[in-house]
Amino acid sequence: MNYYLAIDLGASGGRHILGHLEEGKLLLEEVHRFPHSAVRRDGFLVWDVELMFGEIVKGLEKCAAFIKDGKLVSIGIDTWGVDYALVDKNGELIEPVFAYRDSRTEDFLKTSMPFPELYKITGTAFMPFNTIYQVLADKAAGRLDRAAFLYQLPEYFSQRLTGNLGKKEFNEYTMATTTGLVDAGKKVWAEEIFNKLDLPLRLFKPLREPPYGIGSLGAALQKSTGLDPRVVMIASHDTASAVSTVEEGSLYISSGTWSLLGVTGAPVLSAAAREANYTNEGAHNGRTRFLRNIMGLWVLQSVRHELGDVHSFAELEALAREAEQSVPPDWTIDLNLPAFMAPDSMIAEIKAEYSRCGKRVPETTGELIFSIYTSLAACYKAAILDLEKVTGKKYPAISIIGGGSRDSYLNTLTARYTGKKVCAGPTEATAVGNLLLQMKASGDPAIKDGFAKIVKKSFDIKEYTGEGQKVI
């Protein structure tokens, strides 16, 4: 029996999900889970990549006990976008590895290329943490002078697993498109941008669409784990892997720390798309994910943590449902404001925004959580109205995938606010897409009919209206 391992790294934790097919159904088993987060060092927000790689190895060492009468064919790693590691000619990491929420890019947001000019080429929406601004910050700090390679994070960890860090032939297409440095139409690095901003193209390799293998697990790790899999570059941007489980042309929300709302098709580089703050990122099939970043469950996670993590998410949902009965109508704020990116106190910032808007300030925990839920649903509605206006198309339903698809109350409010049917699941969409792409790379005949067929057979999809969950 063939097994595949998806290593899904999020901004607050990672998981190792082992997958295999039985009678056409994809079965998943969690092997390892670990927390991690950006840490403050020398005044900067950075990633502890040694901790993360140590946990990646620890999860691999656990895998052998889960594999029965079969073999581990391959490993694929996905992460969030935009962040990267610089490596010198000897394969040594140039520390630190900055986290996207760090403020070091603030002085580099206005470049010699006006943003409308950049958008016409890349179709990348403006975000202060975009890779392009991080690279400009590194250039000013002299960090690029020592670098021989720029690995985006899944490339760095994957190459390190092979033992060949410091060797690199390609940049994985879906992750590269999060940089703001790729020509969206031509699907190559935008040399015009590199030339005008005097950035070193030597750090970047030709783009390649996933999936493709980059080598076997390194000899030392083969010995310590007892495994001999290939390391595969799947659609290494987590949303690209997740969206590979959605049927072409469907409206989706990949719901997690961020909410990524969009459709897959051709790139849209119009002024209307730019003004609506939609971005163009790569999909596994060479298509484009036309989407908007919405703050997502980061706000809820932050508030829960600020409250001491004493409430489960289910308890918070129940408190929000109860609070709904006593709050004013249209009681929402814009959660996409920069103030909610990384505040010292998310609770204080939410209350301050209600006060600035002249609306009643949330008082109880239930009201606070309800305000987040209803404001997220309102953000989804606004984003969909913009999407339909820009594309000239109407979408009757929304596929909500990822961990946030478990949140029945948010699903209900989304259906209520948008007036659209909501289909929720699979919750493990990123890992599922990661695994299916590995199967494609291995030539597994089980996927010949496409990913959607396996997803429908393997996972329960729940349907919601504005009144709640509907049995289907």
Q: Is the pLDDT of residue 472 over 60?
A: no
Topology of domain 2-223+231-237, CATH: Nucleotidyltransferase; domain 5 (3.30.420)
**Would you say residue 249 has pLDDT above 90?**
no
Q: Is the dihedral of CA 246, 248, 250, 255 positive or negative?
A: positive
- Percentage of the chain beyond pLDDT 90 is 87
pTM for this prediction: 0.90
Helix (H/G/I), strand (E/B), else coil: 401 = strand
Range list of β-strands (E), 88-180: 93-94, 97-98, 149-152, 171-172
Q: Is 88 a catalytic residue?
A: no
CATH class label, 246-425: alpha beta
Q: What is the dihedral of CA 77, 80, 82, 83, to 10 degrees?
A: -70
What would the mean pLDDT of 108-125 be, rounded to a whole number?
94
Identify which of 227, 237, 238, 231 has the alpha carbon closest to the alpha carbon of residue 213: 231
Q: Summarize the confidence of residues 455-467 as an average pLDDT.
A: 90
Catalytic site residue from 138, 238, 386, 407: 238
Q: How much is the average pLDDT of 83-107?
A: 95
Average pLDDT of the residues of the chain? 94
pLDDT above 90 for 389:
yes
**Intrachain domains 2-223+231-237 and 246-425 with the same fold:** yes
Task: Report the candidate in 214, 190, 90, 75 with the shortest Cα–Cα distance to residue 131.
Answer: 190
**pLDDT > 90? residue 342:** no
Instruction: Indicate whether 382 pLDDT > 50.
Output: yes
DSSP string computed for 418-435: H-SEEEE--TTHHHHHHH
Domain positions in the chain: 2-223+231-237, 246-425
Answer whether residue 471 shows pLDDT above 50: no
| Window from 190-204, 288-302, 373-387, 446-460 with minimum mean pLDDT | 446-460
pLDDT (tens digit per residue) in 167-188: 878 999 999 999 999 999 999 9
Check residue 126 and give its pLDDT. Answer: 93
Residue 470's pLDDT is what?
A: 65
Question: Which residues are within 8 A (CB) of 170 and not within 5 positions of it... i.e. 6 or more apart?
Answer: 205, 206, 207, 208, 212, 233
**Where is pLDDT greater, at 101 or 349?**
349
Average pLDDT, integer, range 41-56: 97
Q: Average pLDDT of 325-350? A: 94
3-class SS at 149? Answer: strand
- Average pLDDT of span 24-50: 96
Least confident of 6-20, 269-283, 458-472: 458-472
pLDDT at 4: 98
